[in-house]
């Protein structure tokens, strides 16, 4: 078996769009760093309603600062808005940006509620702007290899997927506050999205969870079944750290992404025999860790130039379906995330 | 974090015992190959009741051949018997060898029934011989690293273990015949043993399985809980191939063995932070794949020289406890393995 080389859009091959950031959240630092290092997109301005927060952020990156969203969205020199705020705020912020005629890149998860995501995507379509979930992993070079492997049918029929997303994040306050983005929606969404890439949407879900005293899930183990008979297994932990590995069993071959599958990492494929030779592609593009957040910006600029209203790598239905999977898991384990 | 070097017993440091093989089964070829390449133990003779089978096996390795077990066991120049037959035959064969005063190395799983294993181990103790399960993974250099890491407390408290043992073995007839050794007992026992190394014996087990038309499990997903509050997750598939990885989350660090944890492979440890540096030990001892089966022979010769009646790396209680885990899983999923 051989692995294809990733097709990586050259930063210069897409228009240099002008970006605004709605909310000076922590993840926005990684986004700006990635954009500045690895794209030719321009970050123009940031806005925050928390006094002093946007000024500090803006000074750090040499961009403009606004103390309210209206001034940011009123600017004619901004094409796209990146929304890194809490998932519970995404609906309001996205609708506001869309109403101002801006394309929107919304940090994952799009929302904590599938219906709110539907509302955002419907509004974006009606306004003729591109709304995209910042599921950045799908825009990494390793994911283009996966898309090519799937298109070529190299793995045969996909029979099983197993994925772990387990980090020791008990000290990250955001994950343990109701409504802020619990471990399943905040971290597990990567695992859900990984599985969906190979198997689509499940026909059944069985979940067991370990809840903390507030009813927020510390760990979730999930089994999913598919119309084809395939199975997926997913382990998400917000307290225990193990390598983050996504593995895929096809009837003709096996694929594995890791040891930290959501960040620039490596992809291996092999035949199904125990001692089948393994071919491995290691990301040596120079994009390190969360700098990879920037790569989705180049892709998005290209999609906008093509006039697309949803990402070809993750449709609106994909984003919504993944939120529905999370919602069903939360329901089954009795977690109280709101 | 740093990894210790494995303490590997030098082949010359233990007595060169004389070995007989009771049953010319397929796995015995790997055992003899491993012993001949990597130990100074001597394979003296093989016996099989299938006409012609032991002669062919014996000629291949230049050893003696017997067409019945009695003649093999009557020999004074044989110290230890290796029993590679089907698990359903292990009880009778082991008791026969023990009655002849031989030490016994019994291929995993010791039996398909915990009570049969108890009978074997009790008989061996009464006879003053060493009976050892051929859980060869525990005798690989990588496992000595694990023992040192655990003894040093480097990982802190063990909070979670996740392990996969998934091979595309639908074409291996042995696994799909009732009483012969189904995927859970034949393959999954490695995963059960891996988990036990770090967490001991579970206080609860929850299993779901995918059964074939004969009621034999094609795939099993298991969750186990421990008195400490720790959790273990185990995925065993006899139909779908993914990397075989065992991962361990401690409060102070994380350890991972793979990408094929049961054979000579690699061990990594890291702190619990997402970007904590990873240190990896790769097995470069020259023992390849299933040749590693031989290494347990050197260990066993050393244990016998010390007068031990059970392996310090896997007690009789360990072997029995792991069979009980398998039996409970089989019961919960309703598999019909006999």
Residue in A with minimal Cα distance to B273:
A168
Chain B residues whose CB is inside 8 A of the A219 CB are 160, 231
Question: Among B89, B323, B91, B289, which residue's Cα sits nearest to residue B189?
Answer: B323
Give me the mean pLDDT over the A2-14 stretch. 95
Position A298 scores a pLDDT of 98
Give a yes or no: residue A185 inside a domain: yes
* Cβ <8 Å between B160 and A274: no
**CA geometry: angle B61, B64, B69, nearest 5 deg:** 120
Give a yes or no: residue A301 inside a domain: no
Query: Alpha-carbon distance B22 to B297, whole Å?
Result: 15
Q: Which of A136, A169, A195 is the last residue of a domain?
A: A136
Strand A217-225 versus strand A204-211 pairing type: antiparallel
Give a yes or no: residue B250 inside a domain: yes
Burial B267-306 (b: 16+ CB within 10 A, else e): bbbbbbebeeeeeebebeeebeebbbbbbbbbbbbbbbee
Quote the tokens at residue A57.
């952020």
Binning pLDDT at 50, 70 and 90, where does residue A179 land? Answer: confident
Give a yes or no: residue A188 inside a domain: yes
For residue A241, the distance in angstroms to the closest alpha carbon of chain B comes to: 5
CATH code for the domain of B24: 3.40.50.720
Give a yes or no: residue A294 inside a domain: no
Q: What pLDDT, in 10s, does the model give residues A83-118?
A: 999 999 999 999 999 999 999 999 999 999 999 999
Domain count, chain A: 2
ipTM rounded to 2 decimals: 0.96
Do A106 and A243 fall into the same domain?
no
Do A176 and A323 fall into the same domain?
yes
Give a yes or no: residue B252 inside a domain: yes
Give a yes or no: residue B292 inside a domain: no
Quote the tokens at residue B95.
């008791």
Has residue A1 got a pLDDT over 90?
A: no
Do B126 and B217 fall into the same domain?
no
Do B128 and B167 fall into the same domain?
no
Do A127 and A260 fall into the same domain?
no
Quote the tokens at residue A125.
């379509």
Low-confidence ranges of chain B (pLDDT < 70): none
Percent of chain A with pLDDT over 90: 98
**By the 8 A CB rule, do A140 and A295 touch?**
yes
Give me the mean pLDDT over the A64-90 stretch. 97
Show the domain range for A236: 138-287+314-333
Position B144 scores a pLDDT of 98
Give me the mean pLDDT over the A235-260 stretch. 98
Chain A residues whose CB is inside 8 A of the B246 CB are none
Percent of chain A with pLDDT over 70: 100
Do B130 and B152 fall into the same domain?
no
Give burial (CB, 10 Å; 0-12/13-18/19+) of B70: exposed
For residue B232, the distance in angstroms to the closest alpha carbon of chain A comes to: 10
Query: Alpha-carbon distance B110 to B19, whole Å?
Result: 19
**By the 8 A CB rule, do A14 and A302 touch?**
yes
Give me the mean pLDDT over the A189-209 stretch. 98
Give a yes or no: residue B190 inside a domain: yes
Chain A residues whose CB is inside 8 A of the B272 CB are 168, 241
Position B2 scores a pLDDT of 85
Do A44 and A161 fall into the same domain?
no
For residue B266, the distance in angstroms to the closest alpha carbon of chain A comes to: 13
């Amino acid at each position: 078996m051989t692995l294809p080389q990733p097709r990586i859009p050259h930063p210069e091959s897409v228009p240099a769009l002008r970006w605004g950031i709605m909310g000076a959240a922590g993840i926005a630092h990684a986004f700006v760093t990635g954009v500045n290092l690895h794209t030719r997109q321009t970050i123009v301005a940031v806005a925050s309603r928390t006094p002093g927060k946007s000024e500090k952020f803006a000074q750090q990156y040499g961009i403009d600062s606004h103390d309210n969203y209206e001034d940011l969205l009123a600017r004619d020199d901004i094409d796209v808005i990146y929304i890194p705020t809490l998932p519970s705020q995404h609906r309001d912020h996205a609708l506001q940006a869309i109403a101002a005629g801006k394309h929107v890149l919304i940090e994952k998860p799009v929302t904590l509620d599938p219906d709110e995501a539907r509302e955002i995507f419907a509004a974006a379509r009606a306004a003729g702007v591109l709304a995209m979930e910042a599921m950045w992993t799908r825009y990494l070079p390793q994911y283009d290899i996966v898309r090519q492997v799937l298109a070529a049918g190299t793995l045969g029929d996909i029979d099983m997927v197993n994925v772990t997303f387990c980090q020791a994040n008990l000290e990250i306050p955001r994950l343990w506050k109701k409504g802020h983005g619990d471990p399943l929606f905040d971290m597990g969404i990567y695992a859900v999205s990984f599985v969906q890439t190979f198997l689509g949407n499940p026909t059944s879900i069985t979940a067991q969870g370990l809840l903390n005293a507030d009813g927020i899930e510390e760990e979730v183990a999930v089994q999913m079944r598919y119309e084809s008979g395939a199975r997926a297994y997913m382990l998400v932990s917000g307290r225990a750290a193990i390598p983050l590995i996504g593995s895929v069993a096809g009837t003709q071959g096996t694929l594995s992404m890791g040891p930290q599958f959501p960040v620039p990492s490596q992809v291996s494929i092999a035949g199904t025999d125990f001692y089948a030779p393994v071919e491995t592609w290691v990301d040596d593009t120079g994009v390190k860790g969360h700098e990879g957040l920037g790569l989705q910006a180049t892709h998005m600029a290209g999609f906008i130039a093509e006039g697309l209203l949803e990402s070809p790598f993750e449709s609106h239905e994909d984003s919504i379906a993944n939120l529905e999977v999370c919602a069903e898991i939360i329901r089954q384990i009795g977690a109280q995330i709101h």
